[in-house]
Chain A
């Protein structure tokens, strides 16, 4: 692969997931979020000769993804006043980047959970089920369910959660 292609693919693999998560804060569904991120990478490719000139490719990508999301939303519904959208602007750009990185780490952690633990974790955190409800559904004891969720959160805390917390301190 040419030099540029190699650099480009490095950026793609490094930032893809966190950008998809970042986009998911703006877009209604994950397919659209992923589409926007891919389109953003296509336009970065169009600018590839200038990649060296961009001080922070990361910031560029985050800003471009956000802008492309807003454009999409506005184009889908021309009457939308962008000011009336639920604001994700309570966070600074840097905070948004850190949040997305954090979310990417959480995602990876969930990916790496043993299947059973992941099922239970998602029931608790995604479906909002109580430990009792999960216990009933799975036939496990409440204590075991509690244990699974606790262990999963522990894994998360042990990985570099502190770095992210620093920005919110």
Chain B
């Protein structure tokens, strides 16, 4: 160890000694006040079983995964972080501790459907004939073949897409959102709000407060969202589909919104009257 290194350590030791007090700078002590200050709730969330498994044929504990096989299908529960597993269709998943994944016996027949809770990263094998569907307590996530991570509990589901395109539909909102690489979508069923963010744009929809906010979103996506949310057909000139829009609306009618967009962007979108 060189002299200058010894000196630097010595300097740091003295610095720390000067400021040292038992119990000071302790995050465990500071956390309760911080939590209160930020208004974070304290109740524990426990994972509830997604199915009641009537008959458990085999219970196998292999390398940190609790693997339950029953007549209806299989359940995996991860005992550790970064637990890897390969599904029958060769899709690879990485589960974090306490994550659960279930699939039925007919997985990979006409479609590939799984249900889950906790945090799981997926690398889905491409199969255009059979969509891969992830069902969480609050949302459905449909993919063709792509990489993404889902974190879900009873009330909230979050999707982050690494590659490919993933369709994310919150159960209560029935607005399908298309998420591409680099995007994150989060839906909270308690306040009925979905937020979609990418490095340069953001969108927030709240069913409860009837508000929508767009920050740098392409007009064609805005129009798609509005048509699902308000259940109308909206036409949009092709030349205007890539215009970007930033604004928010609370409790406005679809007509008002369309007027505002057209004025703002000098566009020509219109509701199609059947």
Q: Please give the residue numbers on chain A whose beta carbons come within 8 Å of chain B beta carbons, in ascending order.
A: 1-3, 5, 9, 12-13, 16-17, 20-21, 24-25, 30, 34, 38, 41-42, 45, 49-50, 52-53, 99, 102-103, 106-107, 110-111, 121-122, 125-126, 153, 156, 161, 165, 168-169
Contacts and interface: CB of A to CB of B under 8 A. Distances in A.
Contacts of A20: 25
Interface string B1-24: 110110011001111111111101
Given A12-B34, A13-B28, A38-B30, 18 more contacts: A1-B45, A9-B31, A9-B35, A13-B27, A13-B31, A20-B25, A21-B15, A25-B15, A30-B19, A30-B21, A38-B34, A42-B37, A107-B20, A111-B22, A121-B17, A122-B17, A156-B9, A165-B1
5 A-B pairs with least C-beta separation = A16-B27, A126-B17, A125-B17, A20-B25, A106-B16
B25 A34 contact: yes
A84 to B, nearest CB: 22
B6 to A, nearest CB: 10
A64 to B, nearest CB: 15
B199 interface: yes
Given A3-B151, A20-B25, A126-B18, A49 B13 contact: no
Interface of B: 1-2, 4-5, 8-9, 12-22, 24-28, 30-31, 34-35, 37-38, 40-41, 44-45, 151, 153, 155-156, 158, 160, 184, 186, 188, 195, 197, 199
